[in-house]
Structure 1
Amino acid sequence: MAMRGLDEAFRGVGDKPGLDIWCILNLNLVPIPKSSHGKFFSGNAYLILHTNVLKTGVRQNYVHYWLGKDAKEVDCALASEKALELDMALGSCTVQYREVQGSESEKFLSYFRPCIIPVEGCLSPQMIGGGPDSYTITMFSCRGDHVVHVREVPFSRHSLNHNEVFIIDTQSKIFLFSGCNSSTKSRAKALDVVQYIKENQHGGRCQVATIEDGKFVGDPDAGEFWSLFGGHAPISRDPPSEASEEPEPQSMKLFWVNKGKLFPVESATMDRAVLSSDKCYLLDCYAKLYLWMGKTVPSSEKKAAITLVEAYVHSEGRSTSTRTTFLNEGNETADFKSYFNNWPKNVSSTLYVEGKEKVAAIFKQKGFEVKELPDDQSELKEPLINCSGDLKVWLVDHNEKSLLPTEVKNQLCSGDCYVVEYNYVHNSREYHLFYAWLGKGSTKEDIADAISITADMADSVKGRAVMAQVYESEEPDLFFSVFKSLIILKGGRSTAYKNLTEQKKQNASLFRIQGLGYESVQAIEVDLVPSSLNSSYCYILQEGDFFYTWIGSFSTPHDEDLLYQMLDKLSPLKQSILVREDSELDDFWRILGKKSEYPKERHTRLGTEDPRLYTGSIEEGKGDIQLHTR
């Protein structure tokens, strides 16, 4: 099952390191071949994904959308929407950047060596992957010491000045003109650009000439250079006038977003505590803007908040090149955190601590002696392992395994078996955790193959490997934690399951939502009948492109938050119809067959029992084993 509402262009992306680039053409995403990476047309908008794989195996994904100076407004709006969709496809754990032609961030420019080259005009489908166009003389200015900013300028003597470096690209020769006031680093960077143009535009077969500003005597290349402009003549001492920089304000502004409007946050100090997980916030630092999106905010509200930021830039009279960064809670950049006081290393709820203190006070009032548990007991509340590692999932089919792409690796089918590999780092050491997940409807052959393949994989890795067999509906908390969000579907993908079972297609599905917390939530597909409902849970009912969210009368606000978080996975960017228990619409019961009875008692969901350690001994002369708790 693919996530509904997500573009097919995002299928399989984010697994391999490197760049994926799409251009908005006729309101569709069109992939750009690697041979054209770094070439951006000023009349188009682009979506860029950069995937970086650390030595530990952990993947980092960064999403940028680039807006050409002449791009249509509808294309720019669509690019921002697609950036949010791509973030959803990658698990809502990316950082998104808005890039404007001529004001790109150094991070964005660092992906392209040695530079990006903006091209005047619009990209057409016929140009993608095609041969070279008819050659026209092109002129670029180059500036920057760390990363080079290249922009196309009019081919005219008036574009030259003494402070920058210029490149004139002709069919037979590339000229590099260095202004007498330009820096040595800028000249070196420009030489890299010349080499790039030579290799990519001329196939490495053209001449290169360097022209030193003011040194023209006896230089035939200089004479040829000036002949392009109709002969030598004085050039401007100063670069072309640019818009003056806007002054920095005296203080920053923080707003929270509600129903398409901005409301100032009144706070004496900028503490992390002012940010709430169910809201979006805009931090205005004038030179740059940050939109922070809480982890429980529905994707429809995130989309509306991003649109509002674009309107805010326009209404405030800011430059369209104002740099904007979009951040999901838990994936903040160090730069964003620096604007807040008391930013903890790990943000967690204080409800447990507050509740513990209240219970202790009640017992003391009753005359009981209350002692604090040792500090090491509190560690049991923390995850047993590092849950920010790298997750890979393989489908087992006919004694072979096939790697699932990123967008479906958190979707397991109950008719199949899977091998799950989780790699993480602790105390600078790499660990490997292997699971053989065995679906309820899987065949005996697939079960045996899955266990065998998992064992072989665990034996083959270097380092510390642990293997476990996990049966559907008996998964330990740690299994759910490494997935973070998991969807268990009916049916199967494997050949053995399809041969064994008659596949019946149905247009509707019912999912029970459960979870340990925001970082561990599951959607379990259950039978499409009323008896699958339970007053203690929340559910998602899907028919075609329509979704109902059903809230049980004994479910908690926390359960509702998990419900909407999972809805973003199943149906990002789409609205759902809210249904509370005992207020169902007739259409809701129609999808389930007919209205009938289901469990309505309050169900207490027990936590995982504390682990126990036993020692064993066999008494001499007896066959009995004595177990002793430790």
Structure 2
Amino acid sequence: MAVSMKNVDPAFHGVGQKAGMDIWRMENFKPVLLPKESHGKFYSGDSYIVLRSTALKSGGLHYDIHFWLGKDTSQDEAGAAAIKAVELDAALGGRAVQYRETQEHETELFLSYFKPCIIPMEGGVASGFKKLEVEKVEPRLFVVKGRRSVRVAQVPFSRSSLNHDDVFVLDTESTIFQFNGETSSIQERGKALEVVQYIKDTYHDGKCDIIIVDDGTLGSEADTGQFWVLFGGFAPLTKKATVADDAPELPKPKLLCIVEGSFKGVEISKDALDSSKCYVLDCGTELYLWAGRNTSLDARKAAISTAEGLITEHNTAKYTKITRVIEGFETLEFRSYFEKWPLNGHHTVSEEGRGKVAGILKQQGVNTKGILKGSPVKEELPSLPTLNGNLEVWRLVGGVKKEVAAGDVGKFYDHSCYVVIYTVQGEEQKEEYHLYSWTGRYTSPEDKVAATRVMNEKNAELKGRGVQAYIIQGKEPTQFLALFKCVCILKEHTHPGHKEHSIMLVRVRAAGPHIVVAVQLEPVSASLNSSDCFLLQTSSKLYAWSGNLSTAESQRAVLRVAEILKPGVIARPVKESLEPPLFWSSLGGKRKYASHCKPKENPKDPRLYVCSLSQGNLKVTEVHNFTQDDLLSDDIMIMDCHNVLYEWVGQHASSEEKEHSLDVGKKYIERAARLDGMLPDTPIFIITEGNEPTFFTSFFSWDTSKVNVNGDAYAQKIADIQARQAPQETLQRRLTPSASAGTKSESTQRAAAMAALSSQLTSEGKLSKAAQTIITQNSASAPVSPKVHRPSAANSQRAAAMAALSFMFGSKPAPASTVSVDADWVAGSSPFTKAEATGDTDSVTSSKTSEDGGDAGEEIAEFYSYDRLKSTSTNPPPKINIKRKEAYLSPEDFEKLFGMSRTQFYEMPKWKQDQRKRQLLLF
């Protein structure tokens, strides 16, 4: 595609020269580059263009372009963003993949850029940016969905928005609540915790309470009740309508050719794609726009507008995804819809296009350094096991395993199977077990089955802690080769009457530091290669032949192999082109052989996938920008390194998937062989959760403290947040996971609501001004008031509580679904004790002569430090009243810990005093 820079917006000149992210906001239909500090901040009234440039191991750069459309953006602005995204791709040489993103329906790839989440703000350029950063934060209710990349959507602040299946976050001025639906997943609860921490840091400067409310359980009565008060009081949540288990069948994909703004159906075949045209692959929930490499920039712009029109014409959901790919740079997902896709069909024309673009930019004075290529990434060997462990090798012969003698360890014959077990002491004095199954090229089916059986038996003996690897001859990974001083793969002739050939030719390669591989080949001239070294055993001589292009490491290695295969025989070094006549005659005469180095395959970046096996069908979903946190305990994951496969099995994966874990790897290889050219004999490593070897953990920034050996990552995240909070901040930054406490009885949550309500009562028995304000805001969604039976004693504390309830709920009759509240329930659940007949509520909460505490009692002669007074202290002070530990704090320490004076503390209700003391370990 020839590109004229006159058709490319100046904002895109010179972009994409290095790895990173660039974001433009559409302002008056023009892209305006945003500063880095504004990345991740999106406004619902705007449209944005996001460019992600990723450095590849091959040394190039991969580009992903996203145009994000806010829910309130105008149609014209959204169209302009789509067109500008095409221009950005042209400036990059026409190789990028483009994605249409709509608010609350973003792709997993887009969400993976902005962890833990994005929370679009109201407003936009046209509205003058109505920001949320105001002095008082209005309550906002969010629903959080997603097990890895999290979608956060704001929903109406109403009880009707809550349900039992999802996780919700309620953000108020001083407290963030996380409400865990009873049937919500543990993964979503964990991700919601990250969202809570993000909101706390972003909108509260890290200073606010965090309270967790578990649906159907009772935690801290005050905390649970405090949550329900904001919704007008507790009432049972309605259940979602039952949805049929069978998902609606998706329409069959259709391939449509774009012809002058209209569509013409064609067969879904690679051969049907014309390089001079654009096509739409309609998959129902997603559209793929394919542009031939010979299409013009104007044609590509028109095609994206036509695809947008298809959504409107067919009344498809506005959030339908559109992914645009260029010929030669199709994604795996796009290629998967075609029965056959020739892997040699990739084109390098875009390099030429980028060269032309770079030339034009250079004439215009734009710096083009790095525009053609990113910085090459050096390919490194995986982390190898230390060689101070114990190595055991068995050979399978006729289905029976026989231990290999020490002198033959490292020799493998092509008609046999071997099982290798390596035991080594790993980190934290924990033993690691590596189990390898090596299969020769001509191994019998009987021995293959026996090798798999032995592997399973050995792993069962190790209680599933072993790392299992299945290797086929010729595809030995470096982790396996590193276990031996030298790996020799030799021919074995097992059929009767065969006469052993007296001539032996062995190729020797140095595969890495201290790694040598020797492979026996047919003794003919054509087996030679100038880039390797060879051992030639004749009837009377042993030659060590070095090719002109061989490395010094291989030249030294060939002599080592000679000592192993022919001990006591001195090998005669021979350089290429200086061979004696006997050398060639032993190979049947000199013939033509390879005289050039075999080009190395470009290294490929590892990709992580979630895999599930159901009724023999494999479902594969990619995890983008992966981290250790993406390894979820109930999943099976595959790390695809192209030349080796690592399959990670979570502890809580289904028993069916665990049992057929090897089949999962094999089926994945079948799929990858069709779509990405993976070889069928690629080695498979099976790794179980909690037993990850270093050559797997090296793909992550691995934190051993996150290793989830008990499958309780959610509890670990709660502990992590608690660990960030200093003791003196506990009151202000409270975190109360209520899942560990109590019963599912709804009456306990009613009691909790009453407990929180009591804290909002004034001395006159009325609600505080703050509580009245919040309840007024939520009155539209509050349930109709239940009847309240008022007690006869007007001056009692119970009467004060009931008066407050009446004030909150009003006097309307209750619908059938609401819970009736009576005086007996209030009396049983209220935190108040008996009051004096004066009717003054403070007489209960601020008694000066409490038997357990208060300002009265024995005189405090000496103050002690908080560390000595808390219940976990190893050096508690002698002879103190353990019911009044807080009284032994100095006034300064008391205010620092409790955030209030001693007088204010003792004016609080007794139950509330005890709660605060428990939180500070002073109870």
Under a length normalisation based on structure 2, what TM-score does the superposition of the two structures give? 0.37
Could you tell me how far 1:319 is from its partner in structure 2?
1.3
CA 1:412–1:24: 2 relative to 1, 3 Å: closer
* 1:314 maps to 2:312: yes
Letter in 2 for 1:7: D
Structure 2 CA distance, aligned partners of 1:55 and 1:133?
48
Instruction: Provide the residue aligned with 1:328 in structure 2.
Output: 326
Could you tell me how far 1:408 is from its partner in structure 2?
4.7
Letter in 2 for 1:38: G
Could you tell me how far 1:411 is from its partner in structure 2?
4.2
Instruction: Provide the residue aligned with 2:788 in structure 1.
Output: none
CA contact (8 A) 2:123 2:131 kept: no
CA 1:32–1:194: 2 relative to 1, 3 Å: farther
Structure 2 CA distance, aligned partners of 1:214 and 1:128?
38
Deviations along 1:51-102, one digit per CA (max 9) or x if unpaired, are 2112443211100111222221111111101111111111111000111222
Instruction: Provide the residue aligned with 2:343 in structure 1.
Output: 345
CA contact (8 A) 1:84 1:303 kept: yes
Letter in 1 for 2:257: W
2:179 to 177, 181, 193: 177
1:101 to 98, 103, 106: 103
Could you tell me how far 1:27 is from its partner in structure 2?
2.2
Deviations along 1:234-271, one digit per CA (max 9) or x if unpaired, are 222228999x976412x321111111111111x4xx33
CA contact (8 A) 1:216 1:223 kept: no
Letter in 2 for 1:23: R
| Comparing 113-122 and 306-315, the one that deviates more | 113-122
Could you tell me how far 1:103 is from its partner in structure 2?
1.8
Instruction: Provide the residue aligned with 1:259 in structure 2.
Output: 260
CA 1:154–1:429: 2 relative to 1, 3 Å: closer
Structure 1 CA distance, aligned partners of 2:300 and 2:366?
35
Structure 1 CA distance, aligned partners of 2:377 and 2:194?
41
**1:273-288 alignment, distance < 5 Å:** 273-288=271-286
Instruction: Provide the residue aligned with 1:75 in structure 2.
Output: 77
CA contact (8 A) 1:388 1:424 kept: no
CA contact (8 A) 1:120 1:152 kept: no
Structure 1 CA distance, aligned partners of 2:68 and 2:369?
39
Structure 1 CA distance, aligned partners of 2:99 and 2:182?
36
Could you tell me how far 1:113 is from its partner in structure 2?
0.3
Match of 2:94, SS state, is coil
Match of 1:39, SS state, is coil
CA contact (8 A) 2:14 2:361 kept: no
**1:126-137 alignment, distance < 5 Å:** 127=129, 134-137=136-139
Letter in 2 for 1:78: A
Deviations along 1:446-482, one digit per CA (max 9) or x if unpaired, are xxxxxxxxxxxxxxxxxxxxxxxxxxxxxxxxxxxxx
CA contact (8 A) 2:55 2:375 kept: no
Instruction: Provide the residue aligned with 2:5 in structure 1.
Output: 3
Match of 1:346, SS state, is helix
Could you tell me how far 1:129 is from its partner in structure 2?
10
Match of 1:41, SS state, is coil
Letter in 2 for 1:238: K
Instruction: Provide the residue aligned with 2:67 in structure 1.
Output: 65
CA 1:263–1:51: 2 relative to 1, 3 Å: same
Could you tell me how far 1:324 is from its partner in structure 2?
1.2
Could you tell me how far 1:348 is from its partner in structure 2?
7.5
Match of 1:20, SS state, is strand
CA 1:219–1:15: 2 relative to 1, 3 Å: farther
CA 1:324–1:171: 2 relative to 1, 3 Å: same
CA contact (8 A) 1:145 1:185 kept: yes
CA contact (8 A) 2:14 2:366 kept: no
Letter in 2 for 1:257: I
CA 1:32–1:203: 2 relative to 1, 3 Å: farther
Match of 2:210, SS state, is strand
Structure 2 CA distance, aligned partners of 1:426 and 1:277?
32
CA 1:348–1:388: 2 relative to 1, 3 Å: closer
Structure 2 CA distance, aligned partners of 1:318 and 1:277?
28
Structure 1 CA distance, aligned partners of 2:139 and 2:39?
21
CA contact (8 A) 1:162 1:239 kept: no
Match of 1:65, SS state, is strand
Instruction: Provide the residue aligned with 2:162 in structure 1.
Output: 160
Could you tell me how far 1:119 is from its partner in structure 2?
3.1
Instruction: Provide the residue aligned with 2:449 in structure 1.
Output: none
Deviations along 1:28-56, one digit per CA (max 9) or x if unpaired, are 32333433433333222221111211244
Instruction: Provide the residue aligned with 1:524 in structure 2.
Output: none
Could you tell me how far 1:305 is from its partner in structure 2?
1.1
Instruction: Provide the residue aligned with 1:146 in structure 2.
Output: 148
Structure 2 CA distance, aligned partners of 1:98 and 1:423?
26
CA 1:89–1:388: 2 relative to 1, 3 Å: closer
Instruction: Provide the residue aligned with 1:292 in structure 2.
Output: 290
Structure 2 CA distance, aligned partners of 1:4 and 1:134?
48
Could you tell me how far 1:317 is from its partner in structure 2?
2.0
Instruction: Provide the residue aligned with 1:23 in structure 2.
Output: 25
Match of 1:40, SS state, is coil
Could you tell me how far 1:133 is from its partner in structure 2?
6.6
CA 1:425–1:16: 2 relative to 1, 3 Å: closer
Structure 1 CA distance, aligned partners of 2:32 and 2:132?
14
Structure 1 CA distance, aligned partners of 2:366 and 2:235?
77
Q: Percent identity?
A: 40
Could you tell me how far 1:218 is from its partner in structure 2?
4.1
CA contact (8 A) 2:123 2:129 kept: no
2:15 to 13, 16, 33: 13
Letter in 2 for 1:69: K
Instruction: Provide the residue aligned with 1:189 in structure 2.
Output: 191
Match of 1:23, SS state, is strand
CA contact (8 A) 2:176 2:208 kept: yes
Structure 2 unpaired stretches of 5+: 382-923
CA contact (8 A) 1:61 1:95 kept: yes
Structure 1 CA distance, aligned partners of 2:149 and 2:367?
49
Letter in 1 for 2:9: D
- RMSD of aligned C-alpha atoms? 3.8
Could you tell me how far 1:152 is from its partner in structure 2?
0.5
Match of 2:23, SS state, is strand
Structure 1 CA distance, aligned partners of 2:239 and 2:154?
20
CA 1:125–1:2: 2 relative to 1, 3 Å: farther
Going by fraction, where is helix more abundant, 1 or 2? 2
Could you tell me how far 1:312 is from its partner in structure 2?
1.1
RCO higher in structure (CA 8 A, sep ≥6)? 2
Is the radius of gyration larger for structure 1 or structure 2?
2
1:110 to 109, 112, 131: 112
Structure 1 CA distance, aligned partners of 2:136 and 2:125?
15
Structure 2 CA distance, aligned partners of 1:295 and 1:91?
11
CA contact (8 A) 2:14 2:368 kept: no
Could you tell me how far 1:341 is from its partner in structure 2?
3.5
Under a length normalisation based on structure 1, what TM-score does the superposition of the two structures give? 0.54
CA 1:98–1:415: 2 relative to 1, 3 Å: closer
Structure 2 CA distance, aligned partners of 1:324 and 1:418?
31
Could you tell me how far 1:340 is from its partner in structure 2?
1.9
**1:35-54 alignment, distance < 5 Å:** 35-54=37-56
Deviations along 1:275-305, one digit per CA (max 9) or x if unpaired, are 1110111111112111100011111111111
Could you tell me how far 1:122 is from its partner in structure 2?
3.4
CA 1:334–1:196: 2 relative to 1, 3 Å: same
CA 1:83–1:192: 2 relative to 1, 3 Å: same
CA contact (8 A) 1:118 1:152 kept: no
